[in-house]
Amino acid sequence: MNFDRDPASDTFRAEVQAFVRDALPADLAQRTLRGYHALKADMVAWTRILHSRGWSAPHWPVEHGGPGWTPLQRFIFEEECALAGAPPTCTSALSLVAPVIYTYGNAAQKQQHLPPILRGDTFWGQGFSEPNAGSDLASLKTRAVRDGSDYIVNGQKTWTTEGHFADWLFCLVRTDAQAKPQRGISFLLVDARTPGITIRPIISIDGAHSLNEVFFDNVRVPQANRIGDEGQGWSFGKLLLDNERAFSAEVPRNKRMLARLKAVARTQGLLGDPVFGTRIAEVEVDLAALEWLTLRALSEHGSAAAAAWPAGSVLHVLGSELQQKTGALLVEALGERGVVDYPELHETAAPPGYPPGPEHAPGVAADYLYRRAVTIYGGSNEIQRNLIARHLLGA
Amino acid sequence: MDFALDEEQSLLRDSVRRYVDQEARFSPRHWAQFAQMGWLGAALPEAVGGFGGSIIQTVLIAEQLGRGLLVEPFVPVAVLAAQALLAAADAEPARNALGALIDGASIVVPALGQPAGMQVSAGGACLSGQQTLVVGGPRADCFLVAAPEGGGLSLFLCAADAPGLLRHDYRLLDGTPACDLQFDAVPAQAVRRVGGQGDLDLALCHAQLARCAQAIGVMDRAIDATREHLLQRQQFGVPIASFQALRHRLADMLIAHEQARATLHGALAALVTRGAGPQATRALAIAKALCGRSGRFIGAQAIQLHGGMGISDECIVGHCFKHLLVFDSLDGNTAAQLRHLAAAL
C-alpha cells in the first residue's frame, strides 16, 4: 500500500484540461451539460477533434491508433472531458466492438473497421439483447444459418442504443441450435444497410429516441464478417465486460451530476438548507467512495489482486444507484418546476413558447427519467448482486 | 498509488491476524505482547525508539485488532498519544514518555477531548478541570492532557495515581474500558508549553484513520461470520445460502464494506500527500461518515441473517454490532460528519 504523491498524474491532468478548454466548442458543452441525449453531429464533431490530437480511442493499444495511456490516464481523461461537458463518443464502436475486433479479428477485419471507428466515420450499434433474452442473454434466438459463403440471419434484437445512427451492427447470433446455449453463439458484424434489416425507434420514458429494436428478415451476411470461430461469440462478450469493469462506476458522469446538483441547489437557495445540504453531503461521501473504489480497480487491473473482489459488479451497483440518487435530488431541488415536461432543447436559448422555469431546469427531469435504465442495462443490479453473492459464497 | 500490500506489509498484517485469531478478546497479557511484537512503535521513527513505519502500519494493525474485537486501547495509546508525544519529542519529557510507551512500560492514555474544560494553576505545575469519556482510561498509568495556557495549548502528563485525580471507571457497550476524570490541582509535568491546537491535528488525523481501519476489521469479521452461517445453517432442507433474499443482503454487506475501505484509502492518500489540513479533514469526515454508516448496516444485517442466534451473547455478530455502534457514536457520528460536510458546501 502506497499513497505517495504522483506528480506525473497531475501533469497529465493539466495537459488534458488545457486541451479540452481550448478544443471543446461551447455550444457542444452547453448542450451536453443539459443532459439530453447527444446529437449525432456533436458526437462526430467531438470524436474528430479528439482524433486530430490522437485521443479518440483512449484505451486502444498504440499499434491500432490508441495513445498508449495507462488505465489511470484514461480515467483522468474521461473525467476531465465529462466535467467540461464534452459529448460522448460512440461507445458501442470505440469501447465495445473495437476491442473485440483488434483482439480477435483477422487482418482484413481490423483494416476495414478500426480506422473509420477511430476517425468517427462509422457508428455502431449493439445487437445483444432480445425481447426474450435480457438477463438470460445466453437464451438468445436470432439465428444465423450458413448459405454458401454467407449466413442468413433471422430474428430480432432490442435496446440498441443509437441504432438509428448506426452504419454497422455487432450481433450475437445462434449458429448452432444443438450445442449448449453459450457454445452455439457467434459474433457477427452486420452492415446496417443490408436489405432485410428494419430499425424501429423505442421511445423511452424521457420521451426521447435513443433506443431501437432491430428486425432481421432473411438478412444475408458474409461469413467473412464473423469474428473468430463459430461458437466463440459468448466469450468475446465476456471479454468486453471484463475490459470495462473498472469503468463501470461512471465516476466522471457522477461527478458531473454532483457538480450540477450543487449549481442548481445554489441558484435555488438550497445549498445552505441543513436538510438538503446534508443529503448533498451524502452524495459527496458516496462519490468519494466510488472514486477510490475505481482508482483501486484501475490500479489492480490485470493483477492477481483484481480477483480478490467482484469489482465490476460492486462498481456497477454503486455507480448506477448513485446516478439515480443524485438525479432525484436534482429534480427535487427544482421544486415544482422539477416536474415540468421540458422538451429536448438543443438550441442555445429556449425558443418562443418553450415551458417557463429556471434556466437550468431543462434536461434535469429527462436525464433523471432516462437514468432509471442504468440499474437495468449491462446486467441488472439484481444480477450484479447475484454475482457478488456467488463470489462470496462460492456457488 | 498502490493498493496492494507489499511483502513487509502483508507480513505485519498476517502476524497481527494470527495473533488475534488465537487470543481471547480480553487478556492482561495483551499489552506486553503488543509491545514485544513491536506494534506500539510500528509507526514511529527509529530516532525515538520506534520501528520506522508510517500511518500505513498503523492502519494494518488497527484493522486486524478490530477484526479480533480486541478492546485494548491501541488507538488511544499507540496512535493518538504516541503521535501527539512525537510532535513534542524534541524535548526530553515527551521523548522519555514515548520510549516508555513503545516498550509497553507505560500506558499513556490521552484525555484531549475537552481542553477548554481544563485550567492550569500553580505556575503551570498543576491541572484542574474535567474530562469525560476517556477511552482506555482505566488502563492508564499516565494521562496525556491538553490545557489552555498563555493563549495557546500546553500538553501535560499526569500520573494516574496522582493526588487530586479522581477516576470514575465504566465500560462502553462493546466492553471498551473508559472513564471520566476529575482533576483537582493535580501535579502535572509539562511536555510541551503553549503550542497550538494545530500541533495536535496530525495526531488526531492518525487516530481517526486508525479507528476507521479498526471498524473495517470488525465489518470484515461480521461478514465472514455471516457467510459461514449462511453456508452451514439448513432450513427447508437446504443451506439458507441458497435463498436469493439472503444472498442479496450479503452482497449489500460486501458493497458497504468495500465502500468503507475506499474512503479509508481516500483519507490515507489525503493525509500522506497533503498532511494535516483541509483536504485531510474533509477526507476523514467522509471516511468517518461512511465507515459509520457501513458499520451500522453490516452489524445490523449480520444479526438479522443469523436469525435468533444473532441476538445471543454467545454469538460473535452481536459483539460486532456493538463495536460498530460504539465506533459510529464516538468522535462525531455519521449524521454529525454529514452536517460538517454540508456546512462546507
Nearest by CB to residue A389, choosing from B2, B247, B342, is B247
Report the run of H or E that residue B305 belongs to, with start and end. helix B278-305
How many Cβ atoms are within 10 Å of A218's Cβ, its own excluded? 11
Quick check: A285 and B4 CB within 8 A?
no
Q: Chain A contact for B4, CB < 8 A?
A: yes
Nearest by CB to residue B345, choosing from A277, A293, A386, is A277
The tens digit of pLDDT for each residue in A29-71 reads: 999 999 999 999 999 999 999 999 999 999 999 999 999 999 9
In this prediction, residue A240 carries a pLDDT of 75
- pLDDT, mean of residues B133-137: 97
Quick check: A300 and B250 CB within 8 A?
no
Pairing assessment for the beta strands A124-127 and A168-174 based on DSSP bridges: parallel
What residue of B is the nearest CA neighbor of A273? B342
Q: Which residues contact A12 (CB under 8 A, 6 or more apart)?
A: A73, A76
Which residues of chain B from 131 to 160 reach within 8 Å of chain A, CB to CB? none
Chain B partners of A281 at a C-beta cutoff of 8 Å?
289, 338-339, 341-342, 345
Least-confidence region, from A3-12, A330-339, B136-145 = A3-12
Chain B partners of A261 at a C-beta cutoff of 8 Å?
none
Q: Say if residues B209 and B284 touch (Cβ distance below 8 Å).
A: yes
Nearest by CB to residue A281, choosing from B260, B268, B342, is B342
**Long-range contacts of range B328-335, CB-CB < 8 Å, 24 or more positions apart?**
B328/B215, B328/B291, B328/B292, B328/B293, B328/B295, B328/B296, B330/B133, B330/B135, B330/B211, B331/B208, B331/B211, B331/B288, B332/B285, B332/B288, B333/B292, B334/B288, B334/B289, B334/B290, B334/B292, B334/B293, B334/B296, B335/A278
In this prediction, residue B196 carries a pLDDT of 76
Q: How many CB pairs under 8 A join A and B?
A: 138
* pLDDT surpasses 90 at A306: no
* pLDDT surpasses 90 at B187: yes
Chain B partners of A283 at a C-beta cutoff of 8 Å?
none
Beta partners for residue B169, in sequence order: B179
In this prediction, residue A301 carries a pLDDT of 86
Quick check: A309 and B283 CB within 8 A?
no
In this prediction, residue B123 carries a pLDDT of 87
The tens digit of pLDDT for each residue in A85-119 reads: 999 999 999 999 999 999 999 999 999 999 999 99
Quick check: A2 and B2 CB within 8 A?
yes
Q: Which of the pair, A305 or B106, is modelled with greater confidence? A: B106
In this prediction, residue A192 carries a pLDDT of 98
Model confidence at B124, pLDDT cuts 50, 70, 90, reads confident
- Write the DSSP assignment of A165-191 as a string of letters: G-SEEEEEEES-SSS-GGGGEEEEEEE
**pTM assigned to the model:** 0.95
* pLDDT surpasses 80 at B291: yes
Quick check: A2 and B286 CB within 8 A?
no
Q: Which residues contact B76 (CB under 8 A, 6 or more apart)?
A: B109, B110, B135, B136, B207
- pLDDT, mean of residues B151-160: 94
Q: Chain B contact for A269, CB < 8 A?
A: no
Quick check: B262 and A290 CB within 8 A?
yes
Q: Chain A contact for B280, CB < 8 A?
A: no
In this prediction, residue B1 carries a pLDDT of 85
Active site residue A244: yes
- Rounded distance between C-alpha atoms, residue B119 and residue B115, angstroms: 9
In this prediction, residue B85 carries a pLDDT of 95
Quick check: B255 and A318 CB within 8 A?
yes
* pLDDT surpasses 80 at B194: no
**Helices B316-329 and B198-232, interaxial angle, to 10°?**
160
Chain A partners of B3 at a C-beta cutoff of 8 Å?
1, 295-296, 299-300, 305
In this prediction, residue B226 carries a pLDDT of 98
The tens digit of pLDDT for each residue in B8-17 reads: 999 999 999 9
Quick check: A282 and B254 CB within 8 A?
no
C-alpha cell at A329: 435530488
In this prediction, residue A174 carries a pLDDT of 97
In this prediction, residue B139 carries a pLDDT of 95
Phi-psi region of B340 (alpha: psi -120 to 50; beta: other; left: phi over 0): alpha
* pLDDT surpasses 90 at B81: yes
The tens digit of pLDDT for each residue in A214-232 reads: 999 999 999 999 999 999 9
Cell 464533431 identifies what position? Answer: A45
Secondary structure class of A283 (helix, strand, coil): helix
- Rounded distance between C-alpha atoms, residue B256 and residue A392, angstroms: 14
Burial of A75 (0-12, 13-18, 19+ CB in 10 A): buried
Cell 467482484 identifies what position? Answer: A310
* pLDDT surpasses 90 at B192: no
Q: Chain B contact for A291, CB < 8 A?
A: yes
For residues B170-191, one letter each, b for 16 or more C-beta atoms within 10 angstroms of the residue's C-beta and e for the rest, the string is: eebebebbbbbbebebbebbbb
* pLDDT surpasses 80 at A321: yes
The distance of Cα B227 from the centroid of its chain, to the nearest Å, equals 26
Least-confidence region, from A80-89, A105-114, A316-325, B21-30 = B21-30
Chain B partners of A284 at a C-beta cutoff of 8 Å?
286, 341
Degrees to nearest 5, angle at CA A269 with A264 and A273: 105
Which residues of chain A from 320 to 379 reach within 8 Å of chain B, CB to CB? none
The percent of residues above 70 in pLDDT, for chain B, comes to: 100
Q: Which of the pair, A278 or B150, is modelled with greater confidence? A: A278
Quick check: A292 and B335 CB within 8 A?
no
Number of residues assigned to chain A:
395
Quick check: A281 and B272 CB within 8 A?
no
Closest CA to A287 of A317, A248, A251: A251
Q: Chain A contact for B268, CB < 8 A?
A: yes
The tens digit of pLDDT for each residue in A257-304 reads: 999 999 999 999 999 999 999 999 999 999 999 999 999 999 998 888
Q: Pick the catalytic residue from A244, A291, A336, A359.
A: A244
Phi-psi region of B315 (alpha: psi -120 to 50; beta: other; left: phi over 0): beta
**Residue ranges of E strands in B57-115:** 108-111
Q: What is the DSSP letter of A192?
A: T
C-alpha cell at B123: 505556575
C-alpha cell at B163: 493526588
The residue type at A367 = D
